[in-house]
């Protein structure tokens, strides 16, 4: 069965410094992996996805993630945090026929001025 | 505008009173799904549908029903709501149900059962 671990429930960074949000997954088959962002009182928006093509995936708003099969990780990074990045971030895995999506518990990102 | 809509956005009800939360998408998507979001647990899948008249259980289906009679609509039914179903509910859709397809989410329905 597939599962997702997000290693930090809360990450706090200063504006202009790098962001690292960690995600580890467990999957029996070749997975697809996604990062979604949820701003306060909003729905979820796709940041980026990995579906077995390039292992370094670029997304919107300067975010990127690298799929590392040997480490079963899919960490999300951004070189320079902006105040508007403050939100909840979810790592998601799906496998097989892709009908069952499993979310991690989320990481809340705070950006300090 | 391409979107997933949910109604109502907010609902307060009492234990045992049947309710339906509607979900509609205008993107001709095959796949639709319902999730509940609870603090510290992320989103958990309740039910999903791969096409009209094809539905299946997700991880937390107990106490919920769904139907998919039309491609665009996927209502969530709570026949006898209980306080432990107080949660934030999201409907989502995707073009199809392969691994490459991302989901598009509705704005959410906040349900309180007293």
What pLDDT does residue B94 have?
92
Percent of chain A with pLDDT over 70: 97
User: Lowest-confidence range among A31-35, A91-95, B60-64, B99-103?
Assistant: B99-103
Residues of chain B positioned with their CB less than 8 A from the CB of A100: 45, 48, 58-59
Q: Name the pLDDT band for B98 (thresholds 50, 70, 90).
A: confident
**Greater pLDDT, A28 or A98:** A28
Is it the case that residue B65 has pLDDT exceeding 80?
A: yes
What pLDDT does residue A95 have?
74
Any bridge partners for residue B66, and if so which? B76
CA atoms of B78 and B19, how far apart (whole Å): 5
**B41 contacts A100? CB cut-off 8 A:** no
Cβ count within 10 A of residue A46: 16
CA B92 to chain centre: 7
Rounded alpha-carbon distances, angstroms, from residue A96 to A2, A30, A47, A101: 10, 8, 22, 10
What pLDDT does residue A98 have?
65
Under 8 Å between Cβ of B72 and B49: no
Cβ count within 10 A of residue B13: 16
């Amino acid at each position: 069965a597939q599962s997702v671990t997000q290693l930090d429930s809360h990450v706090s960074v200063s504006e202009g410094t790098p962001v690292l949000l960690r995600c580890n997954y467990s999957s029996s088959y070749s997975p697809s992996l996604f990062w979604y962002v949820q701003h306060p009182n909003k729905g979820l928006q796709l940041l980026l996805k990995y579906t077995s093509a390039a292992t370094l995936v670029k997304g919107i708003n300067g975010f990127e993630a690298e799929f590392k099969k040997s480490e079963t990780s899919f960490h999300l990074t951004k070189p320079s945090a902006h105040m508007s990045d403050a939100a909840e971030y979810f790592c998601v895995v799906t496998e097989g026929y892709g009908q069952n999506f499993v979310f991690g518990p989320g990481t809340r990102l705070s950006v300090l001025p | 505008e391409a979107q997933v809509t949910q109604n109502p956005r907010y609902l307060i009800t009492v234990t045992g009173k049947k309710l339906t939360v509607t979900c509609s998408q205008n993107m001709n998507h095959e796949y639709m799904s319902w999730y509940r979001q609870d603090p510290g647990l992320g989103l958990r899948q309740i039910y999903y549908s791969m096409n009209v008249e094809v539905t299946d259980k997700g991880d937390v289906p107990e106490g919920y029903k769904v139907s998919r009679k039309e491609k665009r609509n996927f209502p969530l039914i709570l026949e006898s709501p209980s306080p432990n179903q107080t949660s934030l509910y999201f409907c989502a859709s995707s073009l199809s149900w392969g691994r490459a397809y991302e989901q598009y989410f509705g704005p959410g329905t906040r349900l309180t059962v007293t």
